[in-house]
Structure 1
Amino acid sequence: MRFRNLQELIDLCDKESKTISQIMLQDQAEETGQSINEIMAAMTEYYQIMKTAVHKGLTENITSTSGLTGGDAKKVEEYRRNAEPSVGDIACQAMAYALSVSEVNASMGRIVATPTAGSCGIIPGAFVSAQERFGWDDEHMVHGLFCAGAIGYVIANNSFISGAEGGCQAEVGSAIGMAAGAMVELREGTPEQAVHAVGLALKNTLGLICDPVGGLVEIPCIVRNGFGAVNALAAADMALAGVRSAIPSDEVIDVMLEVGSAMPSRHRETAQGGLAQTPTGRKIMKELRERKK
């Protein structure tokens, strides 16, 4: 890629009068030797998988293989349809959709890791709810995925996207940043505004630990995906309103690396700390072990 950080990405967009997604598409075509049409077709297929996962969790009885989770997406969607959500309709819908995809993941269903399986619900939750709200076509959404991919590329190469390496800030945090920046572009914001959305989103998740109960990507991972989709929409709206990240987004990514590196191993996907080691967390782990025996 011709960019190593978000500022270089903005500079390319300004120099060539292109969006982030257009830069990413062009660079990926040059890197892979594939045509733009071939690359678009592959990403379109990924987006269809995302949409299928969204609706699968809302229309089928989904239970995780452990039996610990399932059905919360339906509860939130039913609440959205029959009540007046405090966060508003689209945010509540994004939350339900994100929960749905995460529950499909926990039940061994087919999902797209964005950027990881543990954070797979955030981008689909934000994207599909926004698409239904604004009436965008799939091609528009696929361009948004390339924008998200460019942001994820920068984060992955300058910090972490793995909870085992940098805590949940690296998985859920990265996904929120990717979704927020892409949502700005989808709503015709500038590349600079998109990058500010990334910084705003990441600052809100710095230090978030990875503490899966029983070592499973279920508790608290699934609900964090629901909250993450809402946070992404909020960060995008702030950036579109003109709010800027006072700390440049590239520096925020550097801080995520610093914080993740300093994080104790018990808070990095080992299930040896955090919620996993609460009395209830330990009880759940004991029950799971006994069930396996």
Structure 2
Amino acid sequence: MRFRNLKELAALCVKEEKSIARIMLEDQAEESGQSVEEILKVMGEYYEIMKTAVHKGLTEDITSTSGLTGGDAKRVESYRLSGTPAVGDIAAQAMTYALSVSEVNASMGRIVATPTAGSCGIIPGVFVSAQERFGWEDEHLVHGLFCAGAIGYVIANNSFISGAEGGCQAEVGSAIGMAAGAMVELRGGTPEQAVHAVGLALKNTLGLICDPVGGLVEIPCIVRNGFGAVNALAAADMALAGVRSVIPSDEVIDVMLEVGSSMPSRHRETAQGGLAQTPTGRKIMKELLIRQK
């Protein structure tokens, strides 16, 4: 890729008068030797998988293989349709869809890791709800995935996207930043605004630990995806309103690396700390072990 960080990416967009998505698409074509059309086709197939996962979680009885989770997406959807959500309809819908995809993941269904399985609900939740709200064609959302991919590329190469390396800030946090930046571009914002959205999103997830109860990507992972979708929409709105990340987004990514590197191992996907080691968390773990035996 011709960019190593978000500053270089934004500068490249200005220089060539192209969107983040277009820069990423063309660079990927150059690196892979595939045509732009071929790459777009594959990404379109990924977006179809995302939409299918959203639908599946809301139309089928989804229960995780452990039996610990399932049905929350339907509960939130029912509440949303009652017209009472304090966060508003689009945020509630994004939250619902994010929960749906995460529940499909926990039931061993087919999802797209964006950027990981543990954070797979955030981008579909934000994208599919926005598509339904604004009436966008699939092609527009597919281009948005390239914008999200460019942001994820920068984060992965300058910090973490793995909970085992950097905590949940690396998984859910990265997905929120990717979704926020992409949503800015999808709604007509500038590359600079998209970059600010990333910084705004990431610095509000710094230090988020990875503490899966029972070592499973279910509790609290699924609800964090729901909250993450709402956070992404909020960060995008702030950036579109002109709010800037005072600490440059690339510096926020550097801090995520610093924080993740200093995070104790018990808070990095080992289930040895945090919510996993609460009395209830330990009880669930014990029951799972008995069931396995």
- Residue 283 (str. 1) matches residue 286 (str. 2): no
Which amino acid in structure 1 is aligned with residue 36 of structure 2?
A: I
User: Which deviations, in whole Å up to 9, do the C-alpha atoms of 1:34-80 show, x marking residues without a partner?
Assistant: 00000000000000000000010000000000000000000000100
Preserved CA contact (<8 Å) 2:160 2:170: yes
Partners of 1:186 and 1:179 lie apart in 2 by: 10
Partners of 1:209 and 1:141 lie apart in 2 by: 30
**What is residue 108 of structure 1 aligned with on the other side?**
108
**What is residue 79 of structure 1 aligned with on the other side?**
79
- Any unmatched runs of 5+ in structure 1? none
Partners of 2:145 and 2:37 lie apart in 1 by: 15
| Pairing of 1:229-244 with structure 2 (within 5 A) | 229-244=229-244
**What is residue 205 of structure 2 aligned with on the other side?**
205
Q: Which moved more, 1:79-88 or 1:204-213?
A: 79-88
Q: Secondary structure at the match of 1:160?
A: coil
Partners of 2:38 and 2:270 lie apart in 1 by: 39
Preserved CA contact (<8 Å) 2:201 2:231: yes
Which amino acid in structure 2 is aligned with residue 6 of structure 1?
A: L
Question: Cα offset for 1:83?
Answer: 3.1
Q: Secondary structure at the match of 2:101?
A: helix
Question: Cα offset for 1:89?
Answer: 0.1
Partners of 2:278 and 2:83 lie apart in 1 by: 33
Preserved CA contact (<8 Å) 2:83 2:89: no
**What is residue 174 of structure 1 aligned with on the other side?**
174
Q: Secondary structure at the match of 2:90?
A: helix
Aligned identity (percent) is: 88
Which amino acid in structure 2 is aligned with residue 213 of structure 1?
A: V
**What is residue 160 of structure 1 aligned with on the other side?**
160
Which amino acid in structure 1 is aligned with residue 178 of structure 2?
A: M
| Pairing of 1:13-162 with structure 2 (within 5 A) | 13-162=13-162
User: Which deviations, in whole Å up to 9, do the C-alpha atoms of 1:81-118 show, x marking residues without a partner?
Assistant: 01320000000000000000000000000000000000
User: Which deviations, in whole Å up to 9, do the C-alpha atoms of 1:105-160 show, x marking residues without a partner?
Assistant: 00000000000000000000000000000000000000000000000000000000
Q: Runs ≥4 in structure 1, deviation > 4 angstroms? A: none
Partners of 1:233 and 1:58 lie apart in 2 by: 21
How many residue pairs get aligned? The number is 293
Partners of 2:265 and 2:90 lie apart in 1 by: 37
TM-score (norm 2): 1.00
Partners of 1:84 and 1:203 lie apart in 2 by: 30
Partners of 2:267 and 2:84 lie apart in 1 by: 37
- Any unmatched runs of 5+ in structure 2? none
| Pairing of 1:189-228 with structure 2 (within 5 A) | 189-228=189-228
Partners of 1:267 and 1:55 lie apart in 2 by: 33
Partners of 2:84 and 2:269 lie apart in 1 by: 36
Partners of 2:118 and 2:129 lie apart in 1 by: 20
TM-score (norm 1): 1.00
Q: Aligned-residue CA RMSD in angstroms?
A: 0.3
Preserved CA contact (<8 Å) 2:214 2:276: yes
Which amino acid in structure 1 is aligned with residue 80 of structure 2?
A: R
